Structure 1
């Protein structure tokens, strides 16, 4: 049986603020050396699926560079392998992807070329480990047209997900996209769908102005529940959508907890990525490092506590990095202090600067109050923070900001530069 995986990786990820300003959400660095999409790609390979299409759209350059020909994932193959599928202009009505199912519809020729029997559609922006053979086995056993991966979520979070209502055999009898009321149960869609290829092609080709087939959650699945055999496959492992600043920061810090049921060091289920050759970590004589992830190429001469450092980060003498996520090749000057901060790549933190300063954690960001309201400040790629200034809580420093962009010196909580 030939299985083709299609990974949705074109999302803008607006809730990640400046972290997704210059890259697609699945390309955002995570857990030090990885990108978010590495987890889905590794799940495919570890499940024996080597026909993989990656659908890109928003700012794909970083993702294209990262995946390349797929060698780190053993996807550089003469038969099968990985293919990056961008939207294109054609003689028919091809255009920008208008939604998840429209993206698949515009690439049905790829599925047909691969002569797929089953198509597994995946999101490229979730953190989890899953053997996809288990959901495929459910699909075959139940003789489904569509099988949806689901997991139980707290009732107070059901308005963030598509919620499935099932009968006693786990057949889906109702699908509700992000219900406002809490009366549809708590089985949330994980964005994992297994289709019979012929059924997928038929259903997506039925689209019209009266019956749009633009989005799986809004259009395709509700229509199929009424007409086809649609079942749920329950998943009980670790699964997180890191689509907000708060969840990204929380999940990163959770990785430091030895009790967390998510093992990055499991040799039986390796998470693969494109790695750069870097020298080993170097820790200076006055350095202190506690409960942190520190990647190759880092030089630590200050203090690092409960933080995640990507490759090439330099922490100067007297600097303190606490409860923070710091991405590649950032330089943290002498005496600087970072507290509850997410720092993008190639940032320079001036000597003596204090970022994440003050006790007013609940003052929301004035421009993005729905995204930054828990005390976490975010610094965009290649920004330069002047020496000696204080930057408050829930602050956004946009990418490429330089010292002259701080004419007033200190930045109050909730401000944006």
Structure 2
């Protein structure tokens, strides 16, 4: 039964290729889709599948993440018993890996009444029905079920993600990395279903041996000692592990079919409510194929772009194929093409910023141009 499962969101994610947007926040807290955060998808997937006990494990730069999730109310997780638990290890002087974080909070695992665990990262953006995956896991009666996506665009997408090598019975034989050499791949979504007892055993093994860097690494290196099966997810998926992937994921949301699937296919994606006023469009504004959040003022041209809350686009300004995050001001006659602008940036009059489809220009938080 689904009420016998708890969720763990492990935010020990590689931020190397998206560092421009993670200097002041964890990857999970990056704004996406005009009014969401990346973690909203992982949290909503678990809640929509009936999980009511979810732990978030994070450490550095967690202020914005903690502020966003709060008590878990938007996801109906402000409850007793269970609910949302945030374990923030940011006060430590040295960085911890995920097994050390989990080991330091094993009391949470022991005290949780659920006997099974869904372990997930946050940067896999999709809308997944965990109930179907749990049914598959219980029918197979394996130690671990890992969820994967079969793709045919591996040379361009999901670079540096884990790749599953599986046999005809969906048994996982080994795990590698996507180096971009092949198109047809089985991409691990870094979502694992297992018994809580096994999870604690793997954490203990990792800590005692000292030979594994992460829990994921522990599972991968012990494939031959465990029975690991793979469950295929067939919906829309992107891994936001680089600036290019972040840009592509946002641009994909401009397609109505993708938006409907991503935000509604297996339940809605929830986020923190800000109660901003409706966006104001002047008579001279022109907006085409864009997503614009509430609380904005649009006087200029916006085309194929994602505009977050509280953005002011002045008269004569032109924004195309760009992502503008919260509380930015784009002044008169500025031109922005293929640009990602972080929060609280002011672009002065008559400025022109140009990026590229493959390599968008990133303007960091609170910059002034």
Secondary structure at the aligned position of 2:46 is classed as helix
Q: Does structure 1 conserve the Cα–Cα contact (< 8 Å) formed by 2:316 and 2:332? A: yes
Q: Does structure 1 conserve the Cα–Cα contact (< 8 Å) formed by 2:175 and 2:220? A: no
Q: Deviations over 1:330-386 (max 9, x none)?
A: 1110111111000111111101111117xxx5xxxxxxxxxxx9341111111111x
CA distance in structure 1 between the aligned counterparts of 2:320 and 2:175, rounded to whole angstroms: 41
Q: Which residue pairs with 2:134 in the alignment?
A: 136
Q: Which residue pairs with 1:164 in the alignment?
A: 164
Q: Deviations over 1:51-88 (max 9, x none)?
A: 00000112011100001111111000011100101238
In 2 relative to 1, CA 7–311 (structure 1 residues): closer, same or farther, beyond 3 Å? Answer: same
Q: Please report how far the alpha carbon of residue 181 of structure 1 lies from its aligned counterpart in structure 2 after TM superposition.
A: 9.7
Secondary structure at the aligned position of 1:260 is classed as helix
CA distance in structure 1 between the aligned counterparts of 2:263 and 2:96, rounded to whole angstroms: 38
Q: Which residue pairs with 1:308 in the alignment?
A: 306
Q: Which residue pairs with 1:62 in the alignment?
A: 64
Q: Does structure 1 conserve the Cα–Cα contact (< 8 Å) formed by 2:206 and 2:218? A: no
Q: Does structure 2 conserve the Cα–Cα contact (< 8 Å) formed by 1:150 and 1:233? A: yes
In 2 relative to 1, CA 49–210 (structure 1 residues): closer, same or farther, beyond 3 Å? Answer: closer
Structure with the larger helix share:
2
TM-score with structure 1 length normalisation? 0.81
Q: Which residue pairs with 1:189 in the alignment?
A: 188
1:5-404 paired onto structure 2 within 5 Å: 5-11=7-13, 13-87=15-89, 98-154=96-152, 155-156=154-155, 160-172=160-172, 174-178=173-177, 186-207=185-206, 210=209, 212-223=211-222, 225-260=223-258, 262-263=260-261, 266=264, 269-356=267-354, 361=356, 374-385=358-369
Q: Does structure 2 conserve the Cα–Cα contact (< 8 Å) formed by 1:164 and 1:184? A: no
Q: Which residue pairs with 1:411 in the alignment?
A: none
Consecutive unaligned residues of structure 2, counting only runs of 5 or more, are none
Measured on the aligned residues, the alpha-carbon RMSD in Å equals 2.5
Q: Does structure 1 conserve the Cα–Cα contact (< 8 Å) formed by 2:202 and 2:215? A: no
Consecutive unaligned residues of structure 1, counting only runs of 5 or more, are 362-372, 386-417
Moved over 6 A (4+): 181-185
Matched residue count: 365
Q: Deviations over 1:289-341 (max 9, x none)?
A: 00000110111111101000001111101000111000111111011111100
Q: Deviations over 1:23-78 (max 9, x none)?
A: 00000000000000001111111100010000011201110000111111100001
Q: Deviations over 1:135-175 (max 9, x none)?
A: 11111111111110111133536862222222322122x22
